[in-house]
Amino acid sequence: MNKYYDTVNKEIKEYFKILEPDFPKWLNEYIDTKELLSQKYISVTCGTIYSKLFESDFFFSSLDHSVAVALIIWHFTHNKKETLAGLFHDISTPVFKHCVDFLNGDYMTQESTEDLTSKIIKDSSEISKFLKRDKIEIEEVDNYHIYPIADNDTPKLSSDRLEYSLSNALFTYKLLDKEEIKEIYNDIEVQVNEENEKELGFKTKKIARNFVKITSKLSVIYREDRTRYSMQLLADILKRLNEDNIISIEDLYK
């Protein structure tokens, strides 16, 4: 079986190198587990890549996103537990990603599928073996919300939010090129915010403003009619298939 990193295309590898020039080889064992590799086939676009309402056909997978989040966390913290929490944060993502949150009626927070994260990690003999070897408890890596660098609430900046903003702007919607990504990323550092929590922040206002402009454009795309329509349509199709006993909810995770 090909290892994940060996199969990643050149453009994504170049992007990874911006996030962390020295790829942490210890991470590969965790990435190459069955549970994480299944995320390789799920697009981060929540199924909109299959709609003719959108022009982009660049396939950036849920696993690509998770690895990139882990690289950002590792780059800024060099903390294995936080890095793994970032790597695992989407391990319970079903087919069409957040479309299933629409199916579950959770189209606002889009967190309804996260409850399975702990179960998937616990049920994985490979991941459990590696965690035991590395003396890491499941409770330390199954909830990335406990690490502010990994995840936090808007308008704060977290590794997860930073990553999907950069990769969507670079690959999916062509709002930035690699040099612009590099300029934004190299201006970021770990700071302590007004709540006395560690947070990713910018060194210069000009680059911070440019990043906010880009995320504002992305925010419009995420919420515009064609996006919500595409996601709701897929959710309705999945619901109908489930009601007609053609697929089960469990099938969405397999």
Contact in structure between 91 and 149 (CB atoms under 8 Å): no
* Model confidence at 100: pLDDT above 50: yes
Q: pTM for this one?
A: 0.92
Number of domains in the chain: 1
Residue 125 in domain: yes
Domain with 64 in it: 9-253
Residue 4 in domain: no
Q: What is the predicted pLDDT for the residue at 124?
A: 95
Confidence category of residue 47, pLDDT binned at 50, 70, 90: confident
Q: Which of 67-81, 168-182, 216-230 has the lowest mean pLDDT?
A: 216-230
Residue 1 in domain: no
* Model confidence at 203: pLDDT above 60: yes
For residue 64, give every residue at least 6 positions away whose Cβ sits within 8 Å of its Cβ, in sequence order, or none: 8, 12, 40, 44, 167
Contact in structure between 163 and 68 (CB atoms under 8 Å): yes
CATH number at residue 190: 1.10.3210.10
Residue 246 in domain: yes
Residue 210 in domain: yes
Q: Helix, strand or coil for residue 90?
A: coil
Q: Is the peptide bond before 94 cis (omega within 30 degrees of 0)?
A: no
Q: What is the predicted pLDDT for the residue at 110?
A: 47
Q: What is the predicted pLDDT for the residue at 50?
A: 86
